[in-house]
A and B are shown apart, each in its own frame.
Chain A
Amino acid sequence: MSSAATKLPGALESVLMPLLNILVALLASGLVVLALGEDPVVVLSLLIEGAFGYEEAIGYTFYYATNFIFTGLAVSVAFHAGHFNIGGEGQAMLGGLGLTLAVFWLGSSAPVLSIIIAVFGAALFGAAWAFIPAWLQAHRGSHIVITTIMFNFIASALLAYLLVGPLQRPGGQMPESSDFPQGTALPQFHELMEMLGISFEQSPLNLSFLIALLAAFGVWFLLARTRFGYEVRVTGQNSDAAKFAGISVPRVTVIALMMSGALAGMMGLNELLGEQLRLIGNFTLGYGFVGIAVAFMGRNHPVGIILAAILFGAVYQGGAEIGFEIPKITRDMSVVIQGLVILFAGAMPHLFRRPVSALYARFADKGNK
């Protein structure tokens, strides 16, 4: 497979190849649907209709995409530093805890201030939860993949404890907190549009989407335009070279992973401060894991991550719609589709390199003659 090294023009590389991979993933999903005895074409059209067919659906798609932008950026910042942060789930849970505490602390006296502090609280708690695995990786060489996974389980148990104990809604039976105080919520998209005089169907899409886009810009700026970003990338590419260049590898590792944790932690803004308006157990629903796929499909570039996040948002929202229409295909099916997209588009980016580059070479030759 020497062709793996062939350089293709940018458009083929970053548009055609991922699209082909997604196509195969959808075909494989179609086979699963077929095996369940349903019509793949009907299911696919339901999925697209459910994701983009009407304003509310689009709102939901971008609402889910917001989660994936945060977790995808989180994975990619860590990856640029040469590490795998699989702890997005746990960091998001702690981020949710951070923003909840901020909201309950100040929410009833100063709602607007509490929202601002909640944003930082989410980032801070997420970063703090990433700190221990980061420090252990940098100073003890503990495998970050294992420690972050363990921290996911620990976070889940911690949240479960808090939500049936100190933080549980008084008199409540469910593992959830009281409702956030009145007025402490991020404005929703349809409310913002209304202010501009445009009507848009109600959906959970909220201000966090813009915060996510800002975060994506911030990540790009940090990595591509700052000295620290340069140090992160050198460390990720070759930590020995970084060390000889006078970069403190442990310091860069810890800071980069904490930034990663902060981004994951901010996912809670969308879910909790944007829609649920209370802390619920296991609200992360695997979004942290999907972030890995989003980062890889987006080639670890913020723009790519946003696009990949929208794709996963569409699969998520469309998949939920299928469940309503065809009872035999439950919401689990959208998890299957996600897994297949991760497999084909995330883990096998070179699947079509050989045929595509062969075709390209043929056409390029003809063009020269």
Chain B
Amino acid sequence: MEFITDILLLSDSTLRISAPLILAALAGLCAERAGIVDIGLEGKMLAAAFGAAAAAAVSGSPWVGLFAGIMVSVILALLHGYVSIHQRGNQIVSGMAINIMVAGLAPTLANAWFSLGGQTPLLDNEARFTAINLPFAKSLEDVPFVGALYSDLLSGHSLLTYLAFAMVPLVAWILYKTRFGLRLRAVGENPEAVDTAGISVTLLRYHAMVIAGVLCGMSGSALSTALGAGFIRDMSAGKGFLALAAMIFGRWKPVPTLLACLLFAFVDALQGRLQGVSFPLIGEIPVQFTIMLPYVITVVILAGFAGKMDAPRASGIPYEKDR
């Protein structure tokens, strides 16, 4: 019985941890499918986390926080878009610039506005996205199996977690079933063809960046107003890069990307559970090694298959109309 409880707890934290990863990975996916490599997911997440926490702390409303988080992230996405599309600059350098800038700017502003040493004030529950109990969760609680699955596992997450999972079919639908999605994918594979058809490559790529910005904004807001209760320095902690890896592992497709995110989140959840647990023969694993686990697994996974084969062909390459 303890084993089942363990599994349930582990799955529950997997779902919770996966939400920001899924949103960020989908953001990266939208950008790369349109031909823009976005290594600045990490910075956008962090900026949104700060924006959301600061706005929620001042206004007392998580919705204002979410809005602010999304706005901050969209502005940075447009900046990256401007560098990549108009300036034809190096997209990796631009992404890293945004990451570094935000890593400095968020604590600087936090310090100037709240004087808490680079943090935002702790958020009350009214200013956060708290657990939502799904309908009938209470009454189904005692039903065997179903109760555990529905009431314990699926119910009781924050709105942003449910939203993250809802975004997967939505993004898939937009990409594969709408005219806009077709064009977006085309602009990442063969921008010349899109241009020849009389559709603006520039506009499409900016649209993709706005979508990426919104998704990344939700991801960062989830970090500081749903999973956490306020902004702390470097709170994204490499999740933007993990999301990027999940997207590559998911071969730039929404559902496989979701599965990759769940895998990473599971490893992260497992990592938390393994701390201080003693194993037969090897004994207790030092905490630093369990922290390594998600990163090592990412490398192993990426080594397991040829990653460059499925990348959108024009991703990372600035489009020059007059070549």
- A residues contacting B by CB (< 8 A) are 1-2, 4, 32, 36-37, 84, 86, 132-133, 136, 140-143, 145-147, 149-151, 153-154, 157-158, 160-161, 164-165, 286, 289-290, 292-293, 296, 328-330, 332-340, 342-343, 346-351
Q: A153-B295, A346-B93 are in contact. Are A36 and B108 (CB under 8 A)?
A: yes
Find chain A residues with CB under 8 A from B122 CB.
Answer: none
Cα(A136)–Cα(B241), bound, Å: 18
Find chain B residues with CB under 8 A from A338 CB.
Answer: 100-101, 104
CB pair A347 B306 closer than 8 Å: no
User: Given contacts A1-B88, A342-B93, A348-B87, could you give 14 more A-B pairs where the C-beta distance is less than 8 Å?
Assistant: A136-B302, A140-B302, A140-B303, A142-B299, A142-B302, A289-B96, A293-B93, A293-B96, A339-B104, A340-B97, A343-B94, A343-B101, A347-B83, A347-B94
Find chain A residues with CB under 8 A from B306 CB.
Answer: 140-141
Contacts between the two chains (Cβ within 8 Å), count: 164
Interface membership of B58, Cβ < 8 A: no
Q: Which of B146-154, B175-183, B286-294 contacts A (4 or more CB under 8 A)?
A: B286-294
Find chain B residues with CB under 8 A from A340 CB.
Answer: 97, 101
Q: A332-B111, A348-B83 are in contact. Are A339 and B100 (CB under 8 A)?
A: yes
With both beta carbons as reference points, the residue of chain A lying nearest to B42 in the complex is identified as A149
CB pair A147 B292 closer than 8 Å: no
Find chain B residues with CB under 8 A from A343 CB.
Answer: 79, 83, 94, 97-98, 101
CB pair A328 B112 closer than 8 Å: yes
Q: A32-B105, A289-B96, A339-B98 are in contact. Are A347 and B90 (CB under 8 A)?
A: yes
CB pair A286 B100 closer than 8 Å: yes
Cα(A160)–Cα(B286), bound, Å: 10
Interface membership of B15, Cβ < 8 A: no
Q: A149-B241, A342-B93, A342-B96 are in contact. Are A157 and B289 (CB under 8 A)?
A: yes
Instruction: Provide 20 A-B residue pairs closer than 8 Å at the C-beta atoms, listed in order of the A residue.
Output: A1-B88, A36-B108, A37-B112, A143-B248, A145-B92, A147-B299, A150-B296, A151-B299, A154-B292, A154-B299, A157-B288, A290-B100, A330-B107, A335-B105, A336-B101, A338-B104, A347-B87, A347-B94, A347-B97, A350-B87
- B residues contacting A by CB (< 8 A) are 39, 79, 83, 86-94, 96-105, 107-109, 111-112, 118, 238, 241, 244-245, 248, 286, 288-289, 291-292, 295-296, 298-299, 302-303, 305-309, 320, 322
A37, A140, A158: residue with the most chain B Cβ atoms closer than 10 Å: A140
Say how far A83's CB is from chain B's closest CB, in angstroms. Answer: 11
The listed residue (A153, A154, A289) touching B100 by CB distance below 8 A is A289
Is chain B's interface secondary structure helix, strand, loop, or mixed overall?
helix
With both beta carbons as reference points, the residue of chain A lying nearest to B291 in the complex is identified as A157
Cα(A84)–Cα(B90), bound, Å: 11
With both beta carbons as reference points, the residue of chain B lying nearest to A341 in the complex is identified as B97
Find chain B residues with CB under 8 A from A161 CB.
Answer: 286, 288-289
Cα(A337)–Cα(B286), bound, Å: 38
Find chain B residues with CB under 8 A from A164 CB.
Answer: 288
With both beta carbons as reference points, the residue of chain A lying nearest to B39 in the complex is identified as A145
With both beta carbons as reference points, the residue of chain B lying nearest to A296 in the complex is identified as B93
